[in-house]
Amino acid sequence: MTRIKTVRERTSLPSQLAGIVAVVVPPPGLAAAVWLLWDRGVRPLDLALLAVFYVACGLGITVGFHRLFTHKSFETSAPLRAMWAILGSMAMQGPLTQWVTDHRKHHALSDRPGDPHSPHAGHGDSLAEHVLGLWHAHIGWLFSTKGLERGVEYGRDLYEDRLVRAIDRLYLLWVALTLGLPFLAGYLIAGSWQRGLEAMVWAGLVRIFLFQHVTFSINSICHFFGEQPFRTRDESRNVRLLAIPSFGESWHNGHHAFPASAVHGLEPGQLDISALVIRGMEQLGLASEIKRPDSQQIARRRVAAERPRRKDMARRRTGSAR
């Protein structure tokens, strides 16, 4: 019988250490990259490897951890589930079960007390409180509320999944690979350990740093700034500037309006690279049961968002108190 972990009272020490590594180590890596390349420019190989690992591991989070495992937005085979789980683990945002249970809790309590990374819950309306809220949602939660919910309510299906448990147990191996593979690629292609180290800095440390803060921005910026075309019970918003680096995750209001949807960019012109990947898998026969709201569902939710706006405009025209 599978043993279900119970709720913790605070973020575990390994999780805190992982947060420290993810937040504190990459900036020195970026400084090292600047020093290594000072007056010599950026090597094309390093940038090419950075792009390859950024895309692969980033999609491991957006397609794998988020849309496949958290929301079950589509179905795929066991080998592909394993691939997405491993690539997501290599993004260094924590083990799969921890990531998913935290995110499911975020949706259940979005911007209310108990949300692991809300910039609003527990914070006031002053400028200082807004800054503190954004800090908590962006980074601070990694050291206080990350990984608190690991039990039955949000993760039973994961703890009963042998494949997921096996990949979680090997998490440190995936962390080693996310740094070791760029070094190996640089070494084999360029033929020296120095070039291997350069590749590890750019395609390892710098890449982790960049994608971490893109992901953190979904938690913070996308709950504070941007557009709300759909009615939701929280402050989720769409931020167009983050759409490409986040692979479509920044259409966050659309996601919170339809959490199970494999497509987050629900309106014309909203580029959603993760949804395109899932669609490509479907066309190749590698994915099925793709979830997406139909046009009527989208229109109803958009109309629901417009009603409060019209009421607010009417109040302002008549001078009524809010």
> What are the tens digits of pLDDT across the range 7-60?
444 445 554 455 555 555 666 766 676 666 654 646 888 889 999 999 999 999
Average pLDDT over residues 80-90: 97
Q: Do the Cβ atoms of 252 and 223 come closer than 8 Å?
A: yes
Q: Give helix 273-283 / helix 44-59 axis angle, nearest 10°.
A: 70
240: Cβ contacts below 8 Å, ≥ 6 apart: 226, 250, 270
Instruction: Collapse the DSSP code of 154 into the 3-class scheme (helix H, G, I; strand E, B; otherwise coil) and give the result.
Output: helix
Q: Which of 35-39, 156-160, 177-181 has the lowest mean pLDDT?
A: 35-39
CA dihedral 208, 212, 214, 218 (to 10 degrees): 160
26: Cβ contacts below 8 Å, ≥ 6 apart: 205, 206, 208, 209, 212
Q: pTM of the full predicted structure?
A: 0.83
Looking at residue 229, what DSSP letter applies? -
Distance separating alpha carbons of residues 296 and 89, to the nearest angstrom: 37
Convert 17-46 into a string of H (helix), E (strand) and C (coil). Answer: HHHHHHHHCHHHHHHHHHHHHCCCCCCHHH
Average pLDDT over residues 92-98: 91
For the chain, list the strands marked E by DSSP: 75-76, 287-288
Distance separating alpha carbons of residues 70 and 61, to the nearest angstrom: 10
Q: Which residue has the higher pLDDT, 73 or 151?
A: 73
Average pLDDT over residues 194-223: 90
